[in-house]
Amino acid sequence: MKRDEIFSSQFIRFLVVGVINTLSGLSIIFAAKYFFHAGDVVANLIGYGVGLCISFNLNSRWTFAYQGRQLTAVVKFILATAVAYGANLLTVIVAIEHLGLNSYLGQAMGMPAYTVTAYLASRYIVFRPTRS
């Protein structure tokens, strides 16, 4: 990424949406584990399901001001999110099962893998500006 891109308002907005998603996602994951005794994979899936809805709405409208076909964007977003979720889940499983880390820490460690994958896909594939 170029320096100007790092400090662009679009990138800052993506980070703000990411903070909102991180806070809501981790809260839901931890609540599912604590109150409902959900396993790590189920809790992670629930947290990311809610985050998926929040992320699409905020990023398509606010971060990227997407003007293209919504159905196309939804399909691409779901596929991109599946790839990002896979990166997250792989990180979580390795952290917990192979490195022996606490499951709460393992869940938090999956966030950066998800975030980087989701940003790149959102910017360059899902919400790419339409040609006029």
Is residue 75 one of the residues assigned to a domain?
yes
Is residue 35 one of the residues assigned to a domain?
yes
- Could you write out the three-class secondary structure of 26-88? HHHHHHHHHHHCCCHHHHHHHHHHHHHHHHHHHHHHHHCCCCCCHHHHHHHHHHHHHHHHHHH
Is residue 132 one of the residues assigned to a domain?
no
Is residue 121 one of the residues assigned to a domain?
yes
Q: Is the pLDDT of residue 1 over 60?
A: no
User: C-alpha 54: how far from its chain's center?
Assistant: 10
What is the pTM assigned to this prediction?
A: 0.71
Is residue 131 one of the residues assigned to a domain?
no
- pLDDT given at position 52: 85
Instruction: Tally the domains of the chain.
Output: 1
Structural domain boundaries, residue 115:
3-126
**HSE value, Cβ hemisphere, 13 Å, CA-based, for 18:** 16
Is residue 106 one of the residues assigned to a domain?
yes
Residue 116: pLDDT band with limits 50, 70, 90: confident
Is residue 60 one of the residues assigned to a domain?
yes
Return mean pLDDT, the chain.
Answer: 90
Is residue 59 one of the residues assigned to a domain?
yes
Give the DSSP H or E segment for 110: helix 103-121
